Structure 1
């Protein structure tokens, strides 16, 4: 399976200048190629090469491989746009958003990411150095660093392209790795149900609660500070906002990785599968007061589900998605469904049999039971392949939104 390992580059000032000039040249060329593709209505990679390749090398001074990658990046951007238009992510045909997205060529950011292949980029793993092509010539001995686990994965399994990124003044390489995966466990002994929430980020059917109270307080404090800085709107406030803008996202991503790793390890150790709720469209379905919307919409539930799915795929653990309807109102003991069963956010008390339990644990047990029933009736694992990253550099946000995996149970 394909995984992306991110390493941080530590270039000297001269090396950094060469890298920055390369990104600017590549993205200027991509913007020009995008204009050609738009005017000629040629969005196919090989057809666009016939129109743009020679000029990309001559007028813009790119190497042969760089010119190929720039043209392909342009076509990928239009493919992404087409998929978003088809999925309705940019409004209905004729709407303002739809027209704004289709009325002019795609523009690439000057510092947008640029793909590199092994002809343009070579790795010296033991020395932790790379040699990379730039518009200023080949730049050698660029140092890089990463965590021990990332370095080991990179040394063993790196295969394919890498993306050069400039983010907040720091340089990164996203390297593609072809990591072997374990064979799928087709005979799980049971399922580990996972209930996702805001107060408790994840609760397992074993009763383990991964609470997010401290994290929620941190997020509320960050949101309050962000609001204050935005109102102040001074140069100093803007600098602080730029410095802190990805802090909350990094923290959420780190916690999601840790939760996913723990859940998959527990399921693998006990020979069980993992049961998750299919939360597709949850933000559109749920009606909340305005103060609660930021809390719901700011946590990356989809990201956590994706992390669990790809880690489970790597470990050979089956994953089944179930319908989340009434899991919080159904008694895990007798099956009685009643809105009054949910006494509070934390507690569940069945009006029929008197069963009392933590509300999230009761919900996770219902999720486990539904997944187990589906599996016995013939459902297969729905752990999806890792999401393919879109090419970096498009001026507008046009990521393809793949449909969430659904349980493939026959004749349910």
Structure 2
């Protein structure tokens, strides 16, 4: 299977070069150009060659989407020019998609049959939780073969029932930040100080290892990077689950700030840049969104402008209202409260206005 990943990714690099040079980014057009060459030079099966071509085209679609969204910087930036000036490249161990013709699941025996460059390997056992096994019964589409830290994983796409969102009785506002990862309009502060201590400890460890520049230091850096990513994902899952449960229990929706492109819009001091750019804004928002959809909880994204400067009590907006990172004091009505709590209340108010105005998709009342 490791050899199969290597061969498929070498083939994908060749197809990517052809797609880049000749401007062939659509699957059917690129397939006509490289299909027989991939089979002859790399010994790929018919369906494996088709999956390689589709993988390359999907990579260019993702690249175009990132450029359009501004994730690679503004037009003319070095990062954007570099991404547009060369073909997409695939690592030797990059994930490879398989469809039902070249990968077969046997859920009763918990085995899979996989096509490889050495022929089809049958009855390969797999392990998963009982809950995941139930979800696999509704599996649909491709499965991705992933090699991670010497272990093989199969990532499958499944379909789950999605209930219609209910009519919310108000909104639970959520202010996302760096010092306090999430603060709700109920006044709850989620995963603040403890997570930041963990991140600072890893940041200091990375700095020490990067100075060494030895092979062993690089191996450790790679290991702790993955560990930190897993910890961040676990924390985001926990926060998202708690927020959705609270909103569902109180029959409210969830209000979030639209933080798209925040890294390009927000400027930070040098010592703050690491914290700003290493925090997974999009991941937490994505986790909240999909968990809410599974529970039928409405989610509304609002404009984040001035949510930290506007008084949630009287509506007066002034930059001097934000006395410090944690303290908000309105210069008009005199209300004093936690700054993130004030921001989350403003987010909840805006979501309610947007919902009542009908500017978002609302559940059918028929």
TM-score for both structures, normalised by structure 2: 0.91
Report the Cα distance in structure 1 between the residues aligned to 2:311 and 2:71, rounded to whole angstroms. Answer: 38
Tell me the distance in 2 between the aligned counterparts of 1:337 and 1:174: 48
In the alignment, what sits opposite 1:327? 307
Question: Which structure 1 segments of 5+ residues have no match?
Answer: 1-18, 384-412
Using CA pairs under 8 Å that are at least 6 residues apart, name the structure with larger relative contact order, 1 or 2. 1
> Which residue matches 1:180?
161
Query: Which secondary structure state, in structure 2, belongs to the residue aligned with residue 27 of structure 1?
Result: helix
The 2-side partners of 1:330 and 1:38 are apart by: 49
Contact 2:69 2:261 in 1 (8 A): no
One of 148, 171, 181 as aligned partner of 1:167: 148
Deviations 1:368-407, CA, capped at 9 Å, x for gaps: 1111112111222499xxxxxxxxxxxxxxxxxxxxxxxx
Unaligned runs of 5+ in 2: none
Which has the higher mean CA deviation after the structures are superposed, 300-309 or 37-46?
Answer: 37-46
Could you tell me which residue of structure 1 aligns to residue 340 of structure 2? 360
Map residues 13-412 of structure 1 onto 2, 5 A cutoff. Answer: 19-86=1-68, 90=72, 97=79, 100-155=82-137, 157-185=138-166, 187-381=167-361
Distance 1:79 1:378, change over 3 A: closer
What is the alpha-carbon distance in structure 1 between the residues aligned to residue 271 and residue 76 of structure 2?
33
Q: Deviations over 1:36-92 (max 9, x none)?
A: 334444332222222322232233211111011112222223333444455555567
Q: 1:168 and 1:321 mapped to 2: Cα distance? A: 37
Please, which moves more after superposition, 217-226 or 334-343? 334-343
Farther-moved stretch of structure 1 (221-230 vs 84-93): 84-93
How far the C-alpha of 1:146 sits from its partner, in A, is 3.0
Q: 1:37 to 1:326 in 2, by over 3 A?
A: closer
In structure 2, C-alpha distance between the alignment counterparts of 1:330 and 1:100, rounded to whole Å: 40
- Give me the whole-angstrom Cα distance separating, in 2, the residues matched to 1:91 and 1:97: 7
Distance 2:254 2:356 in 1: 14
Q: What is the CA distance between 1:255 and its match in structure 2?
A: 0.8
Q: Structure 1-normalised TM-score?
A: 0.81
Q: Is the 8 A contact 2:312 2:342 kept in 1?
A: yes
Of 89-98 and 31-40, the range deviating more from structure 2: 89-98
SS at match of 1:173: strand
Contact 2:39 2:46 in 1 (8 A): yes
Residues matched between the structures, number:
363
Change (3 A) 1:245 1:98: closer
How many angstroms does 1:296 deviate by? 1.7
CA-based RMSD: 2.3
Do the aligned residues in 2 keep the contact of 1:260 with 1:304 (CA within 8 Å)?
A: yes
Cα distance per residue 1:126-157 (max 9 Å; x no partner): 433221111111112323223443333223x2
